[in-house]
């Protein structure tokens, strides 16, 4: 862990403020982006262990959740992706990274629209997962950490050193 420079101090005592949580989320997403960049192109689409999905397919799930998820949290409109089946990945990592970066912008645009009261509201995320908004948000982040770690094992098995887990903007 390095000295925190981006997380703004809060005016009043809170465990974590929305801007701090946004920074935390985007920090994780920037690390996942680096894992995508370093992943060998062919294996990104094909490599698997134990019958699990290749990293490209995992990334499509993460892309579906992040973009539609932040819009749902901010607006209550959870339409969009089919959580039972995500789109096929673009043919190249560069194409997938463009989708990733579009989500980054969506998150920066919609996250600040989530009111503080909203985080405690119960709602069915994507019409399926009933939970308080804060819990769905943590789920989105945790799910990314979980699948990225899976990709880290893929990278190690391929003989590629993954980016350091702790090197994230915080």
Applying CB under 8 A, the residues found at the interface with a copy of itself are 1-4, 7, 9-10, 13-18, 20-21, 24, 28, 49-52, 115-117, 119-120, 122, 125, 129-132, 134-136, 138-139, 142-143, 145-150, 152-159, 165-166, 170
- Closer Cβ to a copy of itself, 48 or 90, answer by number: 48
- Closer Cβ to a copy of itself, 90 or 138, answer by number: 138
Task: Kindly state the smallest distance separating residue 106's Cβ from a copy of itself, in Å.
Answer: 20
CA–CA distance, 8 with 10 (Å, rounded to integer): 6
Distance of CA 38 to the CA centre of its chain: 17
Measure the CA dihedral 25/18/15/164, to 10°: 20
Task: Kindly state the smallest distance separating residue 92's Cβ from a copy of itself, in Å.
Answer: 25
- Closer Cβ to a copy of itself, 24 or 34, answer by number: 24
- Closer Cβ to a copy of itself, 104 or 143, answer by number: 143
Sole residue written with tokens 């003989």: 159
- Closer Cβ to a copy of itself, 68 or 125, answer by number: 125
* Contact residues for 46 (Cβ-Cβ < 8 A; gap 6+): 54
DSSP class of residue 90 equals: P
CB atoms within 10 A of CB 47: 18
* Contact residues for 170 (Cβ-Cβ < 8 A; gap 6+): 1, 2, 4, 6, 7, 23, 24, 27
């Amino acid at each position: 862990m390095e000295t925190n420079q981006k997380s703004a101090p809060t005016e009043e005592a809170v465990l974590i403020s929305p801007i701090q949580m946004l920074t935390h989320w985007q920090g994780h997403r920037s690390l996942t982006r680096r894992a995508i960049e370093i992943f060998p192109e062919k294996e990104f689409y094909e490599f698997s262990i134990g019958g699990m999905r290749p990293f490209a397919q995992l990334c499509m799930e993460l892309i579906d959740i992040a973009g539609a998820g932040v819009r749902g949290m901010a607006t209550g409109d959870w339409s969009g992706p089919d959580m039972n089946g995500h789109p096929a990945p673009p043919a190249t990592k560069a194409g997938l990274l463009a989708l990733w970066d579009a989500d980054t912008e969506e998150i920066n645009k919609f996250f600040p629209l989530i009111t503080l009261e909203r985080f405690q509201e119960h709602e069915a995320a994507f019409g399926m997962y009933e939970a308080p908004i804060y819990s769905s948000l943590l789920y989105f982040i945790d799910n990314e950490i979980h699948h990225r770690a899976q990709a880290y094992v893929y990278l190690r098995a391929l003989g590629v050193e993954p980016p350091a887990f702790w090197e994230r903007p915080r």
